[in-house]
Amino acid sequence: MLDKLTHDERLRLLEFVCSFAWVDLEVRPEERKFVMRMVEKLGLQEDKAQIERWLQRPPPPEEVDPTRIPHAHRELFLKAAKDTFKADKNFDETEQEYFELLEQLLV
């Protein structure tokens, strides 16, 4: 399904992934590595500087409004959220609560 996303949709996914990494107010090294693997997988190397900025400072909340995710992509975004939360092997309570809220908004 990732291969069917346009460049802008892949970049939007990475913006959300970066915001997911910030849920516990800290981007851990494992989360950063996960994001950089996603950059490679999605072919977004030319956008790496922007993605690095999102890892240094979270994207503004109005830019990562889950209700703006197209219905066709919601399952993909939920999987990306869960994978991001599990990247550091510590799916803590804050991340679990955020994931459940995101799931309610998207399903």
3-state secondary structure of 99: helix
CA dihedral 22, 26, 29, 31 (to 10 degrees): -20
pLDDT, position 67: 87
pLDDT, position 90: 82
Does pTM surpass 0.85? yes
> Distance between CA 95 and CA 32 in Å, rounded?
16
Residue 87 CA, distance from chain mean position: 11
pLDDT, position 51: 97
**pLDDT grade for 91, boundaries at 50, 70 and 90:** confident
> Distance between CA 74 and CA 28 in Å, rounded?
25
pLDDT at 1 over 80: no
> Distance between CA 61 and CA 72 in Å, rounded?
22
> Distance between CA 79 and CA 75 in Å, rounded?
6
CA-CA distances (angstroms) from residue 67 to 56, 61, 63? 25, 12, 11
Mean pLDDT along residues 54-59: 96
